Chain A
Amino acid sequence: MSSNRELSMTSYVGIGVGLMMIVGLEVVLTLQHLTPRTLLFGLLTLASMEAFVAIMYLMHVKYEQPILFWTIFPATLFVLIFLCYFFPDAFRMFSMRLIK
């Protein structure tokens, strides 16, 4: 993960263009009139890819000591995943709707 060979500014511009292309892909996906569940899955997948690239390259985690990554990210992901504990209640509300 850690590497001393940092990218050139031209490569960073390329990464920026790549990230914009992912945003374009998100818009194209939105125009396909998919079901909300499929659209949400697609958008979250693309956004997570963007976030990974941004964390590794723009925020320089790729060039830091691996211990920084392993201290911060598993713990943060653990917290974010456990936020899902609340979601079954939202589905209970969904099943209680008069209009579906």
Chain B
Amino acid sequence: MNPTELVVNEKLASIEPERKEHGIVMELSPYGVDKKKLGMWMFIVSDACTFAAFLFAYGYMRIGAPVWGTPFGPSSIANGVLMTAILLSSSLTMLAAVRASQADDRSSAKKWLGVTMLLGVIFAALHLREWFKLIGEGWRLFYNPTGGAAQFGATFFSVTGLHLTHVVTGVIALAFVVRGYSQRRYDQSHVETAGLYWHFVDLVWMFVFPLMYLMNAH
């Protein structure tokens, strides 16, 4: 092996494995992140705009409506706080999973991913409990049982429903990541990218809870 080949091989060894297949002529990303992670950031930006549009529409309708529904009593607020605590805890367990995968501790990473999924399922169950409680009280997408603005049901069920869809999608995505990671088809970058999505779901809830629950407490 001549000195030039040695230098090239040394450089190839120092960069991330997937770049090896493209050769040394491939320029490194100016963002210094994996392409999956950058793609996830692009998705997060577009999804943040979607949620913002929903929340802005809610604010618009709320200002425009003369009488707005405020159905949430202490039990619903306590349920919301519990849901927030569960989602925040799931973010911490996701961090633990990412850390374990970075340390190549596969069994620990899978365990923490499993705990994150379980917390996601509990969050979804509590969310549905709140929905069924409201439906039991007569609230519908286009009907307000107290006689006020009917838009409360439309905005509440659509915003929280969109968030719930993200949580359920996240749990399903994590299940795929666990499967791929167990079969060694996926590496730590997949766990990290899934973690980024999961933290985003938590981030959205930080706005959904005060705006949809606390602003509508009686």
Binding site for B on A (CB under 8 A): 9, 12-13, 16, 19-20, 23-24, 26-27, 29-30, 36, 39-40, 43-44, 46-47, 50-51, 54-55, 58-60, 64-65, 67-68, 71-72, 75-76, 79-80, 83-84, 86-87, 89-91, 93-94, 97-100
- Is B173 close to A, CB under 8 A? no
Interface of A is mostly: helix
Give the A-B contact count at a CB cut-off of 8 A: 118
Residues of B within 8 A of A16 (CB): 88-89, 91-92
Bound CA span A51–B202, Å: 9
**The stretch of B18-26, B29-37, B118-126 that contacts the partner chain:** B29-37
Q: Select one of B31, B48, B77 contacting A65, CB under 8 A.
A: B31
Contacts A9-B95, A89-B60, A90-B59 given: A65-B206 contact, CB under 8 Å?
A: no
Q: B45 and A86: CB pair below 8 A?
A: no
B109: shortest Cβ distance to chain A, in Å? 14
Interface of B is mostly: helix
Q: Which of B76-122 contact A (CB under 8 A)?
A: 77, 81, 84-85, 88-89, 91-92, 95-96, 99
- Is B214 close to A, CB under 8 A? yes
A35: shortest Cβ distance to chain B, in Å? 12
Residues of B within 8 A of A98 (CB): 66
Q: Which of B177-218 contact A (CB under 8 A)?
A: 196, 199-200, 202-203, 206-207, 209-211, 214-215, 217
Residues of B within 8 A of A84 (CB): 56
Bound CA span A29–B96, Å: 32
Residues of B within 8 A of A99 (CB): 66-67
Q: B63 and A90: CB pair below 8 A?
A: yes
A50: shortest Cβ distance to chain B, in Å? 5
- Is B64 close to A, CB under 8 A? yes
Contacts A23-B84, A27-B77 given: A79-B49 contact, CB under 8 Å?
A: yes
Residues of B within 8 A of A71 (CB): 31
What per-residue 1/0 map shows which CB atoms of B38-64 lie under 8 Å from chain A?
A: 000100010011001100100111011
Residues of B within 8 A of A80 (CB): 48-49, 52
Q: A59 and B63: CB pair below 8 A?
A: no
Q: A64 and B32: CB pair below 8 A?
A: yes
Q: B214 and A30: CB pair below 8 A?
A: yes
Q: Select one of B30, B89, B91, B207 contacting A51, CB under 8 A.
A: B207
Q: Select one of B41, B56, B84, B211 contacting A20, CB under 8 A.
A: B84
B59: shortest Cβ distance to chain A, in Å? 7
Q: B64 and A54: CB pair below 8 A?
A: no
B29: shortest Cβ distance to chain A, in Å? 9
Bound CA span A59–B98, Å: 11
Contacts A40-B215, A58-B199 given: A87-B66 contact, CB under 8 Å?
A: no
